[in-house]
Amino acid sequence: MDHFLYRDGALYAEDVPVADIAAQVGTPFYLYSTATLTRHFKLFDEALAWGPHMVCYAMKAASNQAILKTLAACGAGMDVVSGGEYARAIAAGVPGDRIVFSGVGKTEEEMRAALSGGIRQFNLESEPEMERLNRVALDMGVVAPVTVRVNPDVDAKTHAKIATGKSENKFGIPISRAREVYARVAKLPGLRAVGIDVHIGSQLTDLEPYRLAFRKVGELTDVLRADGHDIQRLDLGGGLGIPYTRGNEAPPLPMDYGNLIREELGDKGCEIEIEPGRLVAGNAGIMVSKVVYVKSGEGRDFLILDGAMNDLIRPAMYDAHHDIIPVIEPAPGFEYQPYDIVGPVCESGDTFAKQRMMPPLAEGDLVAFRSAGAYGAVMSSEYNSRPLIPEVLVHEDQFAVIRPRPSFDEMINRDTLPSWL
């Protein structure tokens, strides 16, 4: 469910007409719903209410300060994967003891920043990282709380570029080596193992891969405890999928996910941590764009928009589908017709959809890309010297620009010329 609905023929974001925002902000832009963000977070929180838990929002999905503060006010922790994300979480008022640090390439500088500012745990991905964190912690005179990310070799049955739990993926250590790795952690005085971490991928639409992975984690918990390790937390990652196509079978609900965790791991007496991102932010955001031209080609027609692949790269990178709808609801009885929907970037890859059935549209008409709140703005760029597009947040009948569009001068003035020029 989201809060982008037609009323009297016009698309609204909560209680604000999308066309009114477009008139004031200009297109293209991202638009988020506070009500959807908070609702989706609370669904996860309620799904784990049967035991001690922490829902750490995966910031890589959408990391604007206003989004982070909105979720932090609901009690969210944060899952960060870089020093920049850690700094954003702290700036949004999230205390260090509610931040977990994931990622395969943590640098010494990032480790020091997190140890100085406070951290709930580092999710370690390799033995070299483990050794480095131990050295940094000893140099700072502290002990770093850690989990080790285990790779359970489970096929998440998702897109190859977002699968993370198979043996050939770069993430974590093989679960078969977990005992020896935890034994090594126990001998390092700068580290303290507090739990186990696992994350098998993103956009999962079936609970069975989770069941297989969680069962292995449960077995490992028993083995490590028998070896003398104090396993207090199970960080189970995120990855639950969202419906990108309206009308198709919906992915499992957070409550189903929570019940599965309870079935497989509820008897372990551990605090459960999860790291949802896409399901919290995905359907909470749309990208609004304008038709620049309607072009007739050889055997096909094109809708050329002012939004482009640099603004929303998911279709070009993942062949991802986003439903695209007109901001003004078409009149009854209209006939759909096929369009290739493209942007103005000078690449054939700048294509959002091919032969998509759409109502008739004309120059100046507005369209909305649904389910664009996750991995949209955070993956955008200034390719072709196109400014980053604004982000806008709606709260009931109010809206605010939470990231403005930079001017060309602001973009150019970030460059500096060497002395010989």
Q: Residues 34-47: pLDDT tens digits?
A: 999 999 999 999 99
Find all residues with CB under 8 Å of 310, minimum gap 6, and list them.
Answer: 345, 380, 381, 382, 383, 384, 386
Spatial distance between the Cα atoms of 78 and 243, rounded to a whole number of angstroms? 24
> Whose CA is closest to 164, among 277, 304, 327, 45?
277
Asked if 380 and 398 sit in the same domain, the reply is yes
Structure confidence at residue 158 (pLDDT): 45
Q: What is the CATH number of the domain that holds 70?
A: 3.20.20.10
Q: How confident is the model at residue 309 (pLDDT cuts 50, 70, 90)?
A: very high
Structure confidence at residue 157 (pLDDT): 53
Asked if 230 and 271 sit in the same domain, the reply is yes
Answer with the one of 226, 248, 281 that is the final residue of a domain: 281
Structure confidence at residue 299 (pLDDT): 86
Domain assignment of residue 420, yes or no: no
Structure confidence at residue 248 (pLDDT): 61
Q: How far is CA 211 from the centre of its chain?
A: 22
Q: Is 397 helix (H, G, I), strand (E, B) or coil?
A: coil
Domain total in the chain: 2
Mean pLDDT value across residues 147-164: 66
Q: What percent of the chain has pLDDT over 70?
A: 95
Asked if 169 and 45 sit in the same domain, the reply is yes
Mean pLDDT value across residues 340-356: 96
Amino acid letter for position 171: F
Structure confidence at residue 170 (pLDDT): 53
Record the pTM.
0.93
pLDDT value at 59 more than 70: yes
Q: How confident is the model at residue 161 (pLDDT cuts 50, 70, 90)?
A: very low
Domain assignment of residue 421, yes or no: no
Domain assignment of residue 9, yes or no: yes
**CA 315 to each of CA 85, 161, 277, 310: distance values in angstroms, whole numbers, following the listed order:** 25, 13, 19, 11
Comparison of pLDDT for 247 and 233, the residue scoring more:
233
Asked if 186 and 48 sit in the same domain, the reply is yes
Domain assignment of residue 419, yes or no: no
Answer with the one of 220, 246, 281 that is the final residue of a domain: 281
Mean pLDDT value across residues 95-111: 97
Mean pLDDT value across residues 22-33: 98
Find all residues with CB under 8 Å of 64, minimum gap 6, and list them.
Answer: 32, 377, 391, 393, 402, 403
Domain assignment of residue 181, yes or no: yes
Asked if 215 and 232 sit in the same domain, the reply is yes
Active site (catalytic) residues: 346
Asked if 357 and 212 sit in the same domain, the reply is no
Asked if 272 and 339 sit in the same domain, the reply is no
Structure confidence at residue 153 (pLDDT): 80
Mean pLDDT value across residues 77-106: 97
Mean pLDDT value across residues 119-123: 98
pLDDT value at 327 more than 80: yes
Mean pLDDT value across residues 134-159: 87
Q: Quick check: 107 and 81 in contact, CB under 8 A?
A: no
Q: Which of 66-70, 156-160, 207-211, 233-237 has the lowest mean pLDDT?
A: 156-160
Domain assignment of residue 145, yes or no: yes
Mean pLDDT value across residues 174-182: 94
Domain assignment of residue 350, yes or no: yes
Q: What is the CATH number of the domain that holds 311?
A: 2.40.37.10
Mean pLDDT value across residues 398-404: 98
Mean pLDDT value across residues 139-160: 82
Mean pLDDT value across residues 261-286: 96
Q: Which of 23-37, 83-97, 290-304 has the lowest mean pLDDT?
A: 290-304
Spatial distance between the Cα atoms of 322 and 305, rounded to a whole number of angstroms? 15
Asked if 126 and 261 sit in the same domain, the reply is yes
Domain assignment of residue 42, yes or no: yes
Asked if 287 and 276 sit in the same domain, the reply is no
Q: Quick check: 93 and 113 in contact, CB under 8 A?
A: no
Structure confidence at residue 163 (pLDDT): 45
pLDDT value at 385 more than 50: yes
Q: Which of 103-107, 188-192, 238-242, 412-416 has the lowest mean pLDDT?
A: 238-242
Asked if 130 and 152 sit in the same domain, the reply is yes
pLDDT value at 155 more than 90: no
Spatial distance between the Cα atoms of 342 and 360, rounded to a whole number of angstroms? 16
Spatial distance between the Cα atoms of 397 and 342, rounded to a whole number of angstroms? 32
Asked if 298 and 329 sit in the same domain, the reply is yes
Answer with the one of 281, 298, 318 that is the final residue of a domain: 281
Structure confidence at residue 250 (pLDDT): 76
Structure confidence at residue 159 (pLDDT): 44
pLDDT value at 202 more than 60: yes
Asked if 300 and 395 sit in the same domain, the reply is yes
Mean pLDDT value across residues 344-354: 95
Structural domain including 298 reads 4-31+282-412
